Each structure stands twice: as C-alpha cells, then as structure tokens.
A and B are shown apart, each in its own frame.
Chain A
C-alpha cells in the first residue's frame, strides 16, 4: 500500500447543507514534491487545504499522511504529526518582535509532550532560540529580528508567517496564497526565498496561487480545481495547456516557454 507518497487523499468530499464545497478529490503526493494548486475563487482550493490541515472535517473520504489516517483529526494534532500551514492573511503575533514570534513557535514545537509538557518546558531555551534564529536566517529576515511584528512590511509578514509554520520541522507544508497582497515586483523574490528555504528542509509543499507565471516557475506539478473537484493534474505544462483549464480558470493561453522563465 505504501507507495512513497507522503499525502494520499481519496474521494474527499465536503458539503455545507446543500452546497457541495468539495467532491471526489483523489490526490496522491510523493515526498518532496512541490505542488501548485490553481482555481477560481470558490473552486474548493482552500476547503481542500482546510480539510487536510484539520480546520474542516470532511463529510466523506479519507486522508492519509505518511500512511496514517488523519481524517477529521483536530488541527493541533495534525500539526504535531508534521503538517503545517501558512495563511492567506499572515497570522502572526503583532505585539511581539519577529524573534519572539519565532521563539514562541519554536518553543511550542519543542515542548515536552504530555499533560504538563507545556508548563514544564521553558519558553526561552537556548535550543528554541537557536532554532528561531536559524529559521529567521533561512527566510532572510534577519534585519527585522528585533522589529515589532505589527510594523513589518507585507512581504516580511508573509515570510514570518511561513517561517513560523516551518520552525517546527514539518514534513508537509500547505501555503495558502503565499503571494497574496504582495506587489508584482516582489512576488518572484519572495517565492524564491520561500521555495529555496523549503527545498533546504526537504519539505513537501502544496501552494495555492493565482499568478500562473509563479505556478509555472515554482511547481513540479499543478492541480487545477473547478467546482469543488480536480479537473486537471499534471506537470505545469500539461495542466496549464489543458483546454478546460484554459477555458475555466486561466482564461488565456500562456506564452510557450513561459514555464521556464
């Protein structure tokens, strides 16, 4: 049964009353693959991510992570198993400095397990501080180390948000629109920093993205969502050249060769 896939989703479905938000999603992701997820608003991308990360309980179907069933588990348990996520709107602690944000995340990830684990582990341990610093360096936000998070520029916020998801050494990371709210000029640099950091840590990535050039540039594989299900699944070229994807999602034909900019 084990086929080297880190995530295996079968027949996943989510309904809200009569509304079908996701249906019949079957996807298998091998280790260390970078998967782009595209689709119009309401196509089911975020619902899919929310189900895998435990934010929503699927109505039907199964989710296997490293061959363990995680369907319907609460998000905090799923995080502890090794699936982490970032958010469309950066979720950080505005009244703490960048370093303290990262330290809290690192200390939580390193805390002892058990009922009293959180109370008996110190928040300022040398190991957590070192881990926090390493992740700050990895995401190249060292110059903001002592800056209050509420005053950070948008791009740095995003990097901090993703960094906090990575500091606990997850094996699978879900990025929900990592470049949303970022200017076009900055998008590529930001994605470059993020993707090389994730490669360094050998993290399998699923990222939701609306900019097809970024998808073509950074994904090994692209899933196209439409009306709650996957309508195309293949290399960026295959998916972006799919006539249905062009008709329903991208709307335009991408210039040939854009995939290797």
Chain B
C-alpha cells in the first residue's frame, strides 16, 4: 500500500514538474508558494498526529526566510539550493533549542507557548530598524549552482527546486511515519504512561517532532523568501501561523499527501476569492473551512484514504 501511494505521489510530482513550462506564469507561482507552504503544513501534521497543535509555526517559517535573506545580504552568497538547506538547518537549530521547553507542554499550553515564541521574534524584527522594521527587506536574486536565470526561467527554477525539496521531504516523512518512533504519535496522544513504561521517553519523541516540524517550517520559509524576493516580520505574525493551522485542518493529518493537496487548494481558493470578491475573501475561506469541518472532519486527505484499498479488509 505504502509503495503504491508513493508511486502515485511520485508520478504526480513528475507530472507537475513536466507541466511547468506550459503553465501560465500565475499558476506556476501560485503552485510554488502553495508547495513551499505545504512543507510547514507537513510539519504541523507530524505534531498533529501526536495531539499537538502549534500556533507558532510561523516562527520557523520566518527564521528560514530571514536566514536565507540575511546570508544573501551579508555574504553575497546566492546559491538557492544551499540557502534553502541553511534555512532549514537554522530553523531546526532554533527548534532544537526551544524544544527543551516545548516538549514539556501539551494541548493548549503547547499551542500558546509556541504562539508566544513566534510573537517574540515578530516583536524583535519589528523593532530592528537595520532590517527594515515592519517593511522587511528584499532578498537577492538566487543562482542555481552557478546558473543565474532571470524572469520566467527564474520562476521555473524555483518551481522545480520547491518540487524537489517537497518530494524529498515527503519521502522522508512517510518513512518516519512507518518507523517505530514515527508511529508512536497515536500512542502518545492516547496514553503517555504506557509509552513510558514500554521503555520510550515521550519527552524526547516530542522534542524530535518539534525539530522535524521546525526544519520543515524553515525549508518552507526559505523557499517562499526566494520566490517572493522579499521578507518581512509578518512571516512570524500569528495570522501566518493561523493560516498554517487552517490548512492543516482543511487537509487533515491522515497522510503526507494531505499537506500538498490542502495547501494547493487553500492557495487556489484564496486567490480566487480575492479575485472574485476582494473585500470578502476571508469569508469565503471561512466558509470553506466550515464546510470541511462539517462534512469532512478528517480533512481533505481523508478523500485520498477512501480511494485506497483498505488494509486488512477481507
């Protein structure tokens, strides 16, 4: 089953990659942003499965973005692949650090503490005038192993880079979900005492999940920084975190694919809503979420699971 899902996912990724040159520009850039954000959502799904909701995932998103922007600004280094990796590592290091604190909390306390941490970064960035304060600053145009594209070629390169990072992340996270530690999410949500007495440190497992989600958040932020060409403190604002949680509810935590489907749909609905009724687009999004919760409580991803032949069914 896992093999089949990966095959289908892989084919869809190849299709998306091959279709890029013929897609209209606005679709390509929408998909790039959606798939970069999908990484953050994938991180939220990792936490979500263990019963943890982070209302501060924008912290890692913002750190990933600023890492890329600052390295490019201070050193003039512009290789996109290395910068995106560094964005992920930077956010991962911060996650490892704050994880010592976060891993001790659950439920609303975990959610609020992660929110508070992201707002601290927001506050610091807003007050830092050398980094443009609330305006942020521009990110240098990236290069790709020496290749320096412009215009449409640049968008295409970033589109492909995003797809590649997504594909690697999807395979790794799917593998993680099949491992003992990854599969401990539901048991931890159900009964931490039993997990401890089976010989596993729940705190360490949750710490690891915080780091995984942090790295994914950083990678997403880094890709978005390069794609938009600009970073600002709003990337760490709570509404940014909120929209990631929104997409996670929309997508559901049932599968890795859900993150990508949910994120794509969210961006599509948002741009259409803004296009059709510019002043009421939030209402449209809210209605979509309401309908999802009412009719697909397990999220859009549950549609994918329904298509799958059920394991163990006779």
Chain A: residues with CB nearer than 8 A to chain B? 53, 74-77, 79-80, 84-85, 87, 91-96, 104-105, 107-109, 111, 117-124, 146, 164-165, 168
B199 and A80 within 8 A (CB): yes
Q: Which residues of A contact B186 (CB under 8 A)?
A: 93, 95-96
Over the window 156-196 of chain B, the binary record of Cβ atoms lying under 8 Å from chain A Cβ atoms (1 yes, 0 no) is 00000000000000000000101111111011011101111
Q: Given the known inter-chain contacts A93-B190, A93-B194, A104-B187, please indicate yes or no for A121 contacting B180, CB distance below 8 A.
A: yes
A123 and B193 within 8 A (CB): no
The answer, among A75, A105, A122, for a CB contact under 8 Å with B196, is A75
Q: Which residues of A contact B194 (CB under 8 A)?
A: 91-93, 164
Q: Which residues of A contact B183 (CB under 8 A)?
A: 104, 107, 123-124
CA gap between A74 and B131 in the complex, in Å: 47
Q: Which residues of B contact A87 (CB under 8 A)?
A: 193
Q: Which residues of A contact B208 (CB under 8 A)?
A: 119
**What are some 6 contacts across the A-B interface (CB < 8 A)?**
A75-B196, A79-B198, A105-B198, A108-B198, A118-B184, A123-B182
Q: Which residues of B contact A79 (CB under 8 A)?
A: 197-199
The reply to whether the CB of B200 lies closer than 8 angstroms to some CB of chain A is: yes
Q: Which residues of B contact A95 (CB under 8 A)?
A: 186, 189-190
B182 and A119 within 8 A (CB): yes
Over the window 193-215 of chain B, the binary record of Cβ atoms lying under 8 Å from chain A Cβ atoms (1 yes, 0 no) is 11111111100010010000000
- By Cβ-Cβ distance, the 4 closest A-B pairs, closest first, are A118-B181, A123-B183, A79-B199, A91-B194
Chain B interface, number of residues (Cβ within 8 angstroms): 25
Min CB distance B180 to A, Å, is 5
Q: Which residues of B contact A168 (CB under 8 A)?
A: 198-199
CA gap between A94 and B194 in the complex, in Å: 11
A119 and B191 within 8 A (CB): no
Q: Which residues of B contact A164 (CB under 8 A)?
A: 194, 198
CA gap between A85 and B205 in the complex, in Å: 21
Chain B: residues with CB nearer than 8 A to chain A? 176, 178-184, 186-187, 189-191, 193-201, 205, 208, 312
Q: Is the interface of B mostly helix, strand, loop or mixed?
A: helix
CA gap between A182 and B193 in the complex, in Å: 22
B191 and A53 within 8 A (CB): no
The answer, among A77, A85, A92, A119, for a CB contact under 8 Å with B179, is A119
Q: Which residues of B contact A108 (CB under 8 A)?
A: 180, 184, 195, 198-200
A118 and B197 within 8 A (CB): no
The residue of chain A having its C-beta at the shortest distance from the C-beta of B195 within the complex is A108
Q: Which residues of B contact A94 (CB under 8 A)?
A: 190-191
The answer, among B187, B199, B201, for a CB contact under 8 Å with A93, is B187
The residue of chain B having its C-beta at the shortest distance from the C-beta of A161 within the complex is B194
A91 and B199 within 8 A (CB): no
Q: Which residues of B contact A85 (CB under 8 A)?
A: 197
CA gap between A96 and B182 in the complex, in Å: 15
CA gap between A53 and B198 in the complex, in Å: 11
A146 and B178 within 8 A (CB): no
CA gap between A117 and B208 in the complex, in Å: 13
CA gap between A123 and B182 in the complex, in Å: 8
A119 and B197 within 8 A (CB): no
CA gap between A74 and B189 in the complex, in Å: 21
Q: Which residues of B contact A53 (CB under 8 A)?
A: 197
The answer, among B189, B195, B196, B199, for a CB contact under 8 Å with A109, is B199
| Residue of B183, B199, B200 most packed against chain A (CB within 10 A) | B199
Q: Which residues of B contact A119 (CB under 8 A)?
A: 176, 179-182, 208
Q: Which residues of B contact A75 (CB under 8 A)?
A: 196-197
B179 and A96 within 8 A (CB): no
| Residue of B178, B196, B198, B201 most packed against chain A (CB within 10 A) | B198
Q: Given the known inter-chain contacts A93-B190, A96-B186, A104-B184, please indicate yes or no for A122 contacting B197, CB distance below 8 A.
A: no
The residue of chain B having its C-beta at the shortest distance from the C-beta of A76 within the complex is B199
B190 and A123 within 8 A (CB): no
A91 and B201 within 8 A (CB): no
B178 and A122 within 8 A (CB): yes
Min CB distance A96 to B, Å, is 6
